[in-house]
Structure formats: C-alpha cells, structure tokens
Structure 1
Amino acid sequence: MNFKKINIKALIITIVVISGIEQNVSAQSYKKTDSGLSFYADKMNVEVKFYGPNTVRIIKYPSGTSFVKNSLSVIKQEQKTKFSVTENKDILSIKTNDLQISVNTKNGEIAYTTTSGKELLKEKGSNFKSFNDAGNPTYSVTQSFQLEKDEPIYGLGILQNGKLSQRNQDIRMVQNNTWDFVPFFQSVKGYGVFWDNYSPTQFTDKPDKTSFSSEVGEGVDYYFIYGKNADGIIAGMRNLTGNVPMIPLWTYGYWQSKERYKSQDELVDVVKKYRDLKVPLDGIIQDWQYWGNNYQWNAMDFISPDFPDAKKMINDIHGMNAHLSVSIWSSFGPMTKQYREMDKKGMLFNFKTWPESGREVWPPDMNYPSGVRVYDAYNPEARDIYWKYLNKGVFSLGVDTWWMDSTEPDHLSQKPEDLDTKTYLGSFRKVRNAYPLMAVGGVYDHQRATTSDKRVFILTRSAFAGQQRYGANTWSGDVNSSWESLRNQVPAGLNFSLTGNPNFNSDIGGFFAGSYKKGWSESSGSKNPMFQELYVRWLQYGTFTPMMRSHGTDVPREIYQFGQKGDVVYDAIEKFIKLRYTMLPYIYSVSWDVSKNNSSFLRALSMDFSSDKKTWDINNEYLFGKSFLVAPILNPQYTPEKIVKTDENQGWDKKDESKENTLSNVDFTQNKTVKVYLPAGSDWFDFWTNEKQKGGQEIQKTVNLQSIPLYVKSGSIIPFGPDVQYATEKKWDNLTLKVYPGSDADFVLYEDEFDNYNYEKGDYTEIPMHWNDKSRTLTIDTRKGKYKGMIENRSFTIILPNGQQKIVAYSDKNVKVIFK
C-alpha cells in the first residue's frame, strides 16, 4: 500500500512538472532568428521579418498552409538586424534602434510606435476567405489598420480623383488607361505601408478602419517603413524595390508629339521647323502605325510605305541634334513575326484588347476583327522574344528611347473569366497589377544587357511598385483636354511621387481635344482661344514636371500651329520652353539627388513643411526640386471653362463636329490675379520680380498668360544654363548662380557624360556650393570626381535678388565670394 501511495505522489509531481513546462512553452511560443521571429496566433501563422532597423515585413497565413513567395517588386532580402524581445502576458515587445513593435500573440494584431513611444499605426484585424482562383484553391486576403482621425495619407499611384490626401476614399485598384495603382501609402506621421499583392485590390478608408483587400493571396504580406519624414519613407521604399538610375540629360528637354505623324517626311519636317524657328527641341515621338495596318499591329518595324527609309529618317533627326522615340505596345497583330512565334509557344492572351478592328474606323468594324492579342510579359522567354524583334527592327537603326503604350495592358471586356487566363506566374488575376512592371522591366533589362553606351529611357502608360528602377517615366494616360483634367494632374503626379516613383508627366494640353475643333477647321483648333488658354497653362505646368512633353489628338500642338513670334500665345509657349532649357543644370542636379539621395522632383508641400498643417492637403501647388514653389494656373481666366466628359473609348468618336459659337476678341494681354499660399517656415522670393514675401500666408499674385506664380525658397542656390536649341549644344562653362538669401543654403552641381552608364563606375563630378547667410559668403568648393571631357576651367556669374552681381573664375578649387 505504501508503494502504491509513493507512485501516486510521484505521478502527481510528474504531472505538475510537465504542466509547468507546457505553460512555459506556451508563454514563449515564438521562434526567433537573426532577422525576426514567428509565432502562431488565432488559427494563423505570423512572421515578422526585418529588412533593416526601420523596415519590417509582416506575413500572416492560415494554419495548416504554407507561404512561399518571390516578390516581383521587392528586390532586397531580409537583413540580420539587432533587436530585442520582451514578453508580458500576451504581448511581445520588439525593439530596434528605430522602431518599436507590439505584437498580440493571442489575435496576431500588431502596433507600431517610435522608440520614444509615439504611436504610429496599429492593425485592426486580418481576414482570410477561401477563394477558387481558376481551379487553384487559395484565399482572398484583407488587412485593416486604424489611423488617427485627422491624419492625412498619400500615395496609391496616379489617381484621377483630384485629391491629395486619400482619406475617406474607396478605390478599386485594377490598372487601366488613366489610373495607375501602387498599393502603397505614406502618412504625414513619418511611416509608409506597402501591400505587396498584385491581384485586383480594394483600398478603403473609413473613420473606423483603413484596409487593403485583395482577390488572391496565399496570405497577408505587407511592409511597414518608418522613415521619420517623407524623404525617409521614399528612401525606405526604394531600398526595398530599387533605386532610380540616371536618364539622359536630353530627356529633360522639350518633346514634341502628336497622334500621329503619318509619314517620315512629316516627322522630320517638324524638327526642321523647330530648328528654323530657333525654338529648343530635343525629342520627337513617332506614335503608332509606322508598321502599317492593324493586322501588323506593333510589328516594331518600319514596314509602312509612308516610312520608306527609316535609317535615313533617323539619321536626319540625329543630324539636327534631336532624338527619336517610337511607340511600342504590349500586344501584337496576327500578321507579325512576334505573334506567330509567341502563339506557337502559348505566350498570347485571349481577352479583348485594343485595337479591336483591322480597319482604322470608329466605332470598330467587327466584321473585320483585328486579332490583336496581349503577350505574356510574365514569361522570361516571351520577354526575350519581344526584345529580339525590337532590337532587330528598331533599336539597331538608332532609335533612342521607347514609348511603351498600353503597359497596363488594354483589357476591354473586363469579364471576370478573363482573369482566369493562364500566365507564366499563375492566373492573370493573381498577377494582374504587376503587368507594367514586367513589361517595362523586360525592355530595360535587355537594353542594359545589349549596351552601356546609351541610357535606357522608357515613357510608359502604366506603373507598379518598383518600376522606378527601370529608367521609366510614367504618363497619366489618355486624359481629356479639360481644366478638370489639368487640375487632376497636379495631385496625381504628387501622389505617384510619394510612392517612390519620381518620374511623372502628362499629355500637355490633354489627349482628347475634339470638342475644341467644333466651329474650327481640321487644322485650326489650335486657333480656338479656349484651347489656347488651356494649352498654355498646361504647358506652363509641364515645364515643372520631370518630362516636358506635348501630345494629343484632334488638335495639333506644334508651336507654329499657335501663330508666330510676336503673337501672345506663341510667345508664352516659347518663353516657357526656353525657361525649361535654362533650368537644365538645376534639373539634372536634382536628377542626381533623386538617384543618389532618394529625393523627388515633385514634392507635395507637406514633404518639406509638415509642421504647417495648412500644407497637408493642398492639391494645387508643389515644390519642383527643393527650391521652386510652383502654383500652376488651373482655372480659365480669359475664356469660359469647357466641360469635357469622355473616356478613352468615347474620345475616339469623331462624328460630332457640330458648329458652336466661337469666341472672338479675347485679350490675353490683360492682367489677372490668383491666390497663392506660401508655406510657413521660410521666406519666399517671387521668381519674376525678386520681391520677398513671408511664409505662412495666402497672397494675391498678378499674372497674365505669359506668367504663373513661381517662387523660390529663401536659402536656395540655383544654377541657370545658356540659351540653347538642344540640351548639349553648349558646355556649362559659364553658368549663372542665383542665390536667394535668408538662411544658409547648399547645392551640389552634378555633371557627367550625359548619356551612358560610366557614372556608375564613378565617372562624374560634383561641385558643392554653400551660402553662409550670416557672413553673406558663397563658397564654391573643390570639385569632386572626374570624367572624360569634363570642364577644367569655367566662370560663374553670381546674382542676388537685390541685383548684386559678381563673376568669378573657377578652376576646380575652393572659391569664396563675399557680398557686403
């Protein structure tokens, strides 16, 4: 009996010990690695992975499943990161040098704070719903967050909703002609969130929660970046998804285009006319159908009889020191070599795309279907084939850059079953929104592999996270020629820049301009004062974007279409084109700041003046670089506002050419006034008059058709270049430096060979400049670096707003210039 009692006691002791061990295991049920930790909570697995002390990836997926994913956007690997973990009941506190994360191990919810305890963002639930994706069992996934009530957020891509802050929005994110989606937003509080999912996604912001909800995903997968400010967030996003390469200097000059030049003689003649008029020009674009009819769609070959000698055409253009870009698409007609080769290998999709008809008529004549099909850009072999024909048919002739149209791509039917289409990476639904990233990346990678002598530059209609690494500038699609569209472009470009993509532009004048032809002859819509005013204001805005490109249909846009020298409209256009060229040393140096230091061209006012809450939602002003405050005029002042409502299909309908009353006796020389807000935290100099204004106030500015409100931040140094007809016509050996005092200032003048990749090997120069406001001294510091053909001796003309001026010789050594 005693023996039995002893065994029972031992058994009880054993049970208690085991129970204690189980409790201990439960309390510390996470697994730690050098780069993060993982745990199980509420029927799901949760992984926390660090990509540096300020960037963390969160992965959540249902228990009993696995999560394996190679990101299409993120190219950085998780990093060994120093962090500590403390545990208190159900809460894990994870701390790095930059960030503190609280993890609830019971429900899996995560909250982010600064190391000092300031709340940044907290999750509000994750959701997984079973979904059949073209026969593959998977999930639809949702992640919700809780934002502060008055916290503005920016980003999400190129949005045509006219808003800067995207609070209280409900947006279906599926790439299309005029909306380009990047599932990333950043907050004025200094953090950003990248939702790494490529399927159709609903972004919803309501007072109680903000969420991303995607149709397809094995799990929740997002990145949290704490950058402290907007530049830091953008740097974090580019650190994950790729840095911005330098593009050629000439691409920052003026581009002329239209839909479309119909022969090589017409194309070359445009360049000749600009040279004869002595109006600067660097880029000319040949839109579609240089390949012939729609059955030969996107043959990427000059097989149209209207382009009988493409090599001569290109040589003629180069002989006038201009550059040619040609239109290439994501689809092919059935009579092309590309179609036939890809079709045999199952590399073509079957959904409806543009153009639908083999005949160039509107509406499409479906008695003669075009047979055009989109190619599988997700397939690396298909991308190889694409480049093989592009290189042979066009690049080898000397074409300089690519206009990649329809990179979203055009998907006309939008049938749900279309998304079941099989791609190299799974269903089209699964990878839908990343199509432009793959298409653009394919051309960039192949050209880089072919030559380093010519920098890649791609003008593209769509974008996704990471596309900034591919030398691409995204335009906002076929928007209407309307004041509403112009107003929308300003916040569209700013929000796109705030996703980490710095290169944005829009069709100057808007694309569909047919309504301005009513009452005017085919070629004279450009004489319509209503269009003239819109076009000039759009061009003035375009002067202060990363690409200054005139393009559209219905109404021709070349400067000589608007009159001649001495005419007020012509003179306004010429004035701003020439201003753009004098700004090239500044613009190119900003481009280097973007590439080297992760800066941005287009800067929402909240980026640099976040302490001034009035800037948080200003959607009609911005900084161009860190010095120019641009307030484009976005409403008509001389003519009535024309309301234009068409989409990309209706815009092609040319049948309504009814007469309407035309304006006469519009006096564009009259002065008008416009309101401008000058952010607090700086003084501002009127660029035109040098008048100084204090920040933190709204002012009335007098303008006319040839001017817009343009200010320079005190504490700025801006280099201006020579009067030229093309970007590299004259060396920068005699630049003007305008110094705007009021605080200390720094600027780095950057130069290289302007169009190759030798800068990646260190072949470039930087000349640092510093303005000491107290001593009124400008220091032009010793030049750093060298490259073949660099300027050894130069002079700078230094000008202050009060008219003081000094000329100094500079031979690459430190020079001090003192103003009394």
Structure 2
Amino acid sequence: MKMISVGKIFMVLLFFSTTAMAQNFQETPNGLKTTIHSVDVEVQFYTPTTVRIIKSPEGREFVKNSLSVIEEPQNLKLSVKQTGQLAQVKSDQMEVSINLETGKISFFDLSGRSLLQEKEKGVSFVDFKDVEEETLRVKQAYVLEKDEAIYGLGILQNGKMSQRNQTKYLIQGNTEDVIPFFQSVKGYGLFWDNYSPTTFADNEQETSFESEVGDGIDYYFMYGKNADGVVACMRNLTGQAPMFPLWTYGFWQSRERYKSQDELLGVVKKFRELNVPIDGIIQDWQYWGSNYLWNAMEFLNPGFPNPQKMVNDAHDMNVHMIISIWSSFGPKTKQYQELEEIDALLDFTTWPQSGIQGWPPNMDYPSGVRVYDAYHPAARDIYWKYLKEGLFSLGIDGWWMDSTEPDHLDIQPEDYDNMTHMGSFRKVRNAYPLMTVGGVYDHQRAVSSDKRVFILTRSAFAGQQRYGANTWTGDVVASWEALRNQIPAGLNFSLTGIPHWNTDIGGFFLWEFKNPLDNPDYRELHARWMQFGTFSPMMRSHGEGYPREIYQFGKKGDPIYDAIEKYIHLRYSLLPYIYSTSWDITANQSSMIRALVMDFADDTMALDINDQFMFGKSLLVCPVTESMYTIDGKADFSQTKSRELYLPKGANWVDFWTGEKLDGGQTIRKETPLDIIPLYVKEGSILPIGPQVQYATEKPWDHLELKVYDGADGSFLLYEDEFDNYNYESGAYSEIPISWNNAARKLTIGARKGSFKGMLKSRKFTITLIDGTTKTVDYNGKKVVVKL
C-alpha cells in the first residue's frame, strides 16, 4: 500500500476544491451566470457603468422584454476572475463581485470603495398565482450606509427630500407618480425593473423593493459618480429627452373648465388687452358633451360650434392650444365600440362614475366609462386614429393627457385580475402611463416632424422622458403645506431621470379656503405659487371651482396682480437661458430643476434641504412657502417679513435683486416682500436676458443682454434653432459659446457653430456687470473678445 503524505492530501483536496469552485460560474459575453442555493443569477454589463442583475429560481426560465429599458448590452472588454469565494467582473469604470457561497452581490468603484451591497440572504421568491399564471412575489434587500442620502421614487407628496427611513407602497395615483428607482449621494443609482405594485422599505436593517408579481428579480445598478452622471446612465438606459418647442416655456393658462369657445378665446383676448404675456391656453374636459360620450375626441358640446375657427383664432392671437384627452371612453363613443370589438377595455370603476354630470355621482345612471388597454398595440392605433381625425387635424398643438395613471376608484382585489394584452393588470399596473403616453408620441412622430410632440400628463413611469411629456403633480389641494410638498416632489422626480414636470399653480382644489379669490391668505398663496412656477419647467396656472386668470386677482396697482404680472414678465426675460438649458438636457443629459445634491454633493448641509433648488446651473431659487402677510384674515403689508435660507458652499453668490455678494456655506435671512422670491446667482454665471414680449417668438433675439456675475470664471452656451420642429435632430441648430475670465476681466463670445433656416446672421449683445458697467458689441458669428 502506497503512503501519501498529509501535505499531498491537502494539495489534492485544495485542487479539487478550487476546481469545483471555478466551475460554479460560467463566463458570458457580458458578465457571468451561476446558480447558488437554488437561485439562478446573471450579472450582465450593459455599459461600463451600468449592469443588470437577473435572478430566478433554479431552472425556471425568466425572459423579459423591458417596457422601460431600450438600451441593448454593448460589446465590452470585461475582466472576469475568481478570488477565493468571490467571482469578480470588472469594466473600466466599476466592479461587481458575487459571493459564490452566499450569492451576495456587491458593487465597487475601481479604487475598491464599496458603493452598494446586497443583504445576506436578502433575496426572496414566494409562489403566487396571478389569475391563471403561476408566478412569484419577489423581493431584494440591500444594505446602505447609516447616513447615506438617497433620492427618487417619483413624485411623492411626503415632503421628504432624502427618501430614507420610510415604507412606501408604490402604485400609480392621481397625485403620486411612482418610479422604482433611487440614486445615492455616493454617485450610484438603482432601477428596480418591475411594473406591479411594489413596496419600498428603508429601515435600520435593510433597504428593499418587494413586488407583488415577478417571474424573477430584475434590476439595474448604475455608477454615474455624481447625480448628473446617474441621470445620464438612466437616460442612456431608458431613452433621451427630446427638445420641447420654445412656446411651451412661456406662460400657460387653464381652468376647470372653459365652457365655450367664446369663453376660451375671451381669456386670450383679455390677456392681450392687458399686455400680459401668454403662450398657451388649455381646454379641459367635456367639450365632447355628455359623460356617455366621454373622451370622444370631438367637439360635440354646443358651446363649441366651430372648433376649427376657435383654433385658428387662438393661433391668430399667437397662442398655442392644447386639449384634454383621457385614458377612458364613454359607451356611446366610436372608440369604445372599436375597442370593445378587440377586447381592449378594462373592467373596473373609473372616473366619471355617473352618466349625469354633478357631484356626488348619481349611481342610478352609471356612466359605463371604461379604461382602454394601452398595453395593446391595436388599441393604441385606435386611440391615435380618432385623436388624429378629431383633434390633430384641427391644428391642436399638444395633448393634455389626463388620468394617465389611470383613475381607479372603489378598488376591488379582483380589479387587478383584468387581463391586458401583456398579462394581468396587476403585473403591469405601474407602467400604464408609459404605454398610453408613448402610444401618442410614437404615432404623432410617425406622421409629422413639423411640430414637436408636447404632452402634459398626470402620471409617469421610468423612461417616459423619451416621449416628449411634461408631468404635472396631480390634483393637489391648495394649501401652504401642499406648496411646500411640490418642491421635493418635483426634485425627486427629476432625479429619476425625467426632467420635465410642473404643478397646478395655486393648487387644484380650493377646499381649505372660503371665497378664495377674496381670501387674503389664498391670494398670498397664489402669488407665492406663481413665483415658484416661474422657475419650473412649465409655468401653468390651473384649478377647479374658481377661475385663476390674473385679472381675477385685481388690476394693475393691486399687490397680488402686480406680483403675478412681474413674474410672468420675468419668465419671458429668461427664455434664452431656459431654452439653452433645455438643450443641455437633450444634448448633455442635464436637468432643468436641480436638487442641491446635483451641484453641491460635498456640502452635507445641502443634502436634505427640501425647499431650495437650482434652476439650470446658475440660479438658486428659495420659494416662500408660508403665509407672511395675512393676519387675522386680513392682508397686512405694513411690515416686511423674511425667510431663512442656506447658501451652499462650493460657490459664492450674488443676490439677483440687489447685486449683493455673499459667501457660500452660510445660513442667512432674506427680506421677502410679496413680490420678492429669494433668488441668487452663482458667481461666474452668464445669464442671457431676452426682450420684453407678449409671446415667446414675438421678437427675434437680435439684441440680448448678457448679465455677467463676476467674481469667478464662468461659461454659458447659447443655443438656438427653429423652435418647433425636429430639424435639430439633423444638425439644424447653432451654439454660441460665451466665457468669462475673471482675472483678465474679459468676456469672450466665441465663434458660432452650426446653422439653421432663418438664423440671425448678426446681432448685438449688451454686456452688463453687477456694478452696472455695460458695453454693447456687434456680433456676426465670429469670435469677439470684450474687455470690461
């Protein structure tokens, strides 16, 4: 018998052990696959900064075509190796490791810094029967650092900036638009790609997503290094944001509702008579007539006898018009009949419940209105067919897509058993807005490139930025608390990668105010909300019950009227800045409304501020969100009040109104008379100021003021195109780079790049410094250096 030494035995065992462990995973072109504790796992790099993680019970096929993700995995150079019990996949930007014994996945930057880790034993699959399909309830838990701020989850009305320490049921609603995505101050983001109702939970033990339906776990980790980088990753993954027309950035007026075409046109005429700028008017519901004809997409209401003339007259007054369309149809509409024939109507209670107008609904006469199956391609074709024939053919400029979540009333558990074209309503519930909004965008783009698609929608889901949509925060009840909540709601929405959103200026419902138009507290609230709206991606006044046009709040000389008019004019003066910022969104994946973490991530004082933000990269906006001038039910302007605010460190600041220079990194108080919103400009900024106009394109930008906020070097890129078509996608646009050298006191207006039809060949720029120094120069497209 041959003897083998203990050392040799150890070496043999080690060889077989490491060989067996090496066989625990399989390399793939984009990462690796393995099975651990009866769970199939795949690590799949899409880009050097974005990796998809897929998990399912062993042997259970899991194939999914994402509704949100449109990116395909790239051919990448990856390093795959094993170190002990860890299998590691590395790109040139980040590393993913999986513990081959426990299945735990961890994410690192290239220096080895931990970004995010799954929780040990943090995966859960529970068998679930969804109607007739055997499926799963799925959960994945992670471990975050104790004080790590995270942002996102969509539009929520919780008033929170950082979304830590809460449990939130994510399901689409009127005033909350849910997106199972968050990003961290550490520079990474996580998208949980699931469309069923999902619970997000964050506590001391774990941070998790748990979805009611899922054939497997499917999530994307992205490392952008900072908030802008994460947004860029998310847009690369789910789609880029196209340009909006210039006119969408002007002022918009609407009401629930204009009851005739004469009433609607009368509002536009009144604005023009008052010389108050306006670019858009919106027709809300019931222009179709009765509830049995709900969303017929035709003017069947006698108050609109000549809709073509109405649209033409609005256009003749240089106003654009958008109109309300819904996700549901009355039983007497043509759409309903066609959709019913292909079994593309869902069976649950929606708005309106009664066929008779009025509140409360008279259920002796049920409306029969049903939501259409937006997941069905043929249903989306039918939707567009009637939209095109009934409204697009009239020259309507855009779509107010209401109830895109959609409205779901008197919810019953069996409602989610409705079968859509893509499975149960339960399985795909949260993606409904993406499908219905996308259907309109895709169809309009297919038939016209002359007019950019513009959609105002009440709900959204991941990827919706690619569909030319601006989401409003729903039918919020007017209150000071509601105004405060809209700020972090919109900021967190922007941080999910969707840059365009707005609110009903003044709040939709006025339940908390008696005689609101004469109520000093509401009038003050409306003025402050208008100031906030000035620095939102869309400035739109709207509400039910009481009209909100400027002249409802008095006349010139009245404090509320004057404050509203001042900010409408301010909005128009900033259009060159706003439009150039919108190009930065499209071309460079930037954001218009910027949470402070985007520009001041190193300032811990700024990370959880929920009532301040950057508008573009130059303006710090600090809305007033509490009543100051209503005392004992009466307006009292005898004393000037103030609000406390924080100036982030990492920059110095200039008071927009006074020119006072202030150091960053300090808390100050700013006096806030009714017509002042605290507004600060970052030193080094260059603000292009446009002409005084009554509508966005009234005057060419042939003489712009360039306000230079000296104190630091800075730059700005002035962008122009034809303002309302898609020729920019083929290169029909121009860029003028402008830079300020603070030490040399020189402003350089660089050579213009690009061209487009109708482009100004020459123009004037008036350069203005904070101290009032001005100089006017001619510019013909060639580089100009100005010494100041």
TM-score bracket for this pair, using the shorter chain length: over 0.9
Deviations 1:735-772 (A, max 9, x none): 00001112211110000000000000100000001111
Match of 1:566 in 2: 557
Match of 2:166 in 1: 169
Match of 2:486 in 1: 489
Verify the 8 A CA contact 2:597 2:607 in the aligned structure 1. yes
> Secondary structure of 1:151's match?
coil
**2 CA distance for matches of 1:129 and 1:63?**
14
Alignment of 1:670-681 (within 5 A): 670-681=639-650
Deviations 1:276-312 (A, max 9, x none): 0000000000000000010000001111111000000
Match of 1:200 in 2: 197
Match of 1:725 in 2: 694
User: Within the alignment, does 1:459 sit opposite 2:456 as a pair?
Assistant: yes
Match of 2:600 in 1: 609
Verify the 8 A CA contact 2:185 2:227 in the aligned structure 1. yes
Match of 1:219 in 2: 216
Match of 1:658 in 2: none
Verify the 8 A CA contact 1:568 1:669 in the aligned structure 2. no
Q: Match for 1:442 among 429, 434, 439?
A: 439
Residue correspondences, number: 780
Alignment of 1:138-287 (within 5 A): 138-287=135-284
CA positional deviation for 1:21: 6.5
Q: Match for 1:396 among 393, 396, 408?
A: 393
Verify the 8 A CA contact 2:244 2:452 in the aligned structure 1. yes
Q: Match for 1:635 among 626, 630, 633?
A: 626
CA positional deviation for 1:17: 9.6
CA positional deviation for 1:806: 0.6
AA in 2 matched with 1:586: Y
Deviations 1:156-191 (A, max 9, x none): 000100000000011000100001001000000000
TM-score (norm 2): 0.97
Verify the 8 A CA contact 1:733 1:791 in the aligned structure 2. yes
CA positional deviation for 1:88: 2.1
> Secondary structure of 2:237's match?
helix
Verify the 8 A CA contact 2:630 2:636 in the aligned structure 1. no
AA in 2 matched with 1:512: F
Verify the 8 A CA contact 2:48 2:93 in the aligned structure 1. yes
Alignment of 1:645-724 (within 5 A): 663-664=633-634, 666-668=635-637, 670-724=639-693
Match of 1:99 in 2: 94
Verify the 8 A CA contact 1:582 1:723 in the aligned structure 2. yes
**2 CA distance for matches of 1:515 and 1:129?**
45
Between the two proteins, what is the percent identity of the paired residues?
A: 62
**2 CA distance for matches of 1:568 and 1:530?**
13
Match of 2:342 in 1: 345
TM-score (norm 1): 0.94
Q: CA RMSD in A?
A: 1.6
User: Within the alignment, does 1:746 sit opposite 2:746 as a pair?
Assistant: no
Worse overlay, 28-37 or 138-147: 28-37
Match of 1:596 in 2: 587
> Secondary structure of 2:191's match?
strand
AA in 2 matched with 1:70: N
Unaligned stretches of 5+ residues in structure 1: 641-661
> Secondary structure of 1:157's match?
strand
AA in 1 matched with 2:135: T
CA positional deviation for 1:29: 2.4
Match of 2:527 in 1: 536
Deviations 1:558-577 (A, max 9, x none): 00111111111111000000
**2 CA distance for matches of 1:630 and 1:19?**
64
Alignment of 1:507-546 (within 5 A): 507-516=504-513, 518=514, 520=515, 525-546=516-537
Q: Match for 2:727 among 722, 736, 758?
A: 758
AA in 2 matched with 1:744: D
Verify the 8 A CA contact 2:116 2:144 in the aligned structure 1. yes
Match of 1:132 in 2: 129
Match of 2:545 in 1: 554
Q: Match for 2:31 among 10, 27, 36?
A: 36
**1 CA distance for matches of 2:157 and 2:347?**
29
Verify the 8 A CA contact 2:477 2:511 in the aligned structure 1. no
CA positional deviation for 1:704: 0.5
Worse overlay, 749-758 or 414-423: 414-423
Verify the 8 A CA contact 2:720 2:734 in the aligned structure 1. yes
AA in 2 matched with 1:472: A
User: Within the alignment, does 1:379 sit opposite 2:348 as a pair?
Assistant: no
CA positional deviation for 1:508: 0.2
**1 CA distance for matches of 2:638 and 2:597?**
34
CA positional deviation for 1:606: 1.3
Match of 1:426 in 2: 423
CA positional deviation for 1:598: 0.5
AA in 2 matched with 1:149: K
Unaligned stretches of 5+ residues in structure 2: none
AA in 1 matched with 2:537: P
AA in 1 matched with 2:276: V
Match of 1:626 in 2: 617
AA in 2 matched with 1:34: P
Match of 2:19 in 1: 24
Deviations 1:760-785 (A, max 9, x none): 01000000011111111110000000
> Secondary structure of 1:172's match?
strand
Q: Match for 2:778 among 796, 804, 809?
A: 809
Verify the 8 A CA contact 2:155 2:473 in the aligned structure 1. yes
CA positional deviation for 1:117: 1.2
**1 CA distance for matches of 2:106 and 2:767?**
52
Verify the 8 A CA contact 1:437 1:467 in the aligned structure 2. yes
Q: Match for 1:734 among 695, 699, 703?
A: 703
Match of 1:121 in 2: 116
User: Within the alignment, does 1:498 sit opposite 2:495 as a pair?
Assistant: yes
Q: Match for 1:88 among 83, 89, 108?
A: 83
CA positional deviation for 1:34: 2.1
AA in 1 matched with 2:680: Y
CA positional deviation for 1:635: 0.5
**2 CA distance for matches of 1:411 and 1:98?**
44
> Secondary structure of 1:381's match?
helix
> Secondary structure of 1:594's match?
helix
Runs of 4 or more, structure 1, over 4 Å off, are 16-23
Match of 2:301 in 1: 304
Verify the 8 A CA contact 1:514 1:554 in the aligned structure 2. no
> Secondary structure of 1:561's match?
helix
> Secondary structure of 2:623's match?
coil
Deviations 1:569-600 (A, max 9, x none): 11100000000000000000000000000000
> Secondary structure of 2:47's match?
coil
Deviations 1:126-175 (A, max 9, x none): 11110111110010000100000000000000010000000001100010
AA in 2 matched with 1:480: V
Worse overlay, 351-360 or 506-515: 506-515
Worse overlay, 35-44 or 479-488: 35-44
Match of 1:582 in 2: 573
Verify the 8 A CA contact 1:408 1:433 in the aligned structure 2. yes
CA positional deviation for 1:20: 6.3
Deviations 1:319-368 (A, max 9, x none): 00001110000000001000011011100001000000011121110000
Verify the 8 A CA contact 1:50 1:80 in the aligned structure 2. no
Kindly tell me: are residues 702 and 486 of structure 1, through their superposed partners in 2, closer, same or farther at Cα, counting changes over 3 Å? same
Verify the 8 A CA contact 1:57 1:224 in the aligned structure 2. yes
Verify the 8 A CA contact 2:27 2:80 in the aligned structure 1. no
**1 CA distance for matches of 2:625 and 2:441?**
35
User: Within the alignment, does 1:75 sit opposite 2:75 as a pair?
Assistant: no
Worse overlay, 106-115 or 722-731: 106-115
User: Within the alignment, does 1:49 sit opposite 2:44 as a pair?
Assistant: yes
Match of 1:325 in 2: 322
**2 CA distance for matches of 1:346 and 1:18?**
64
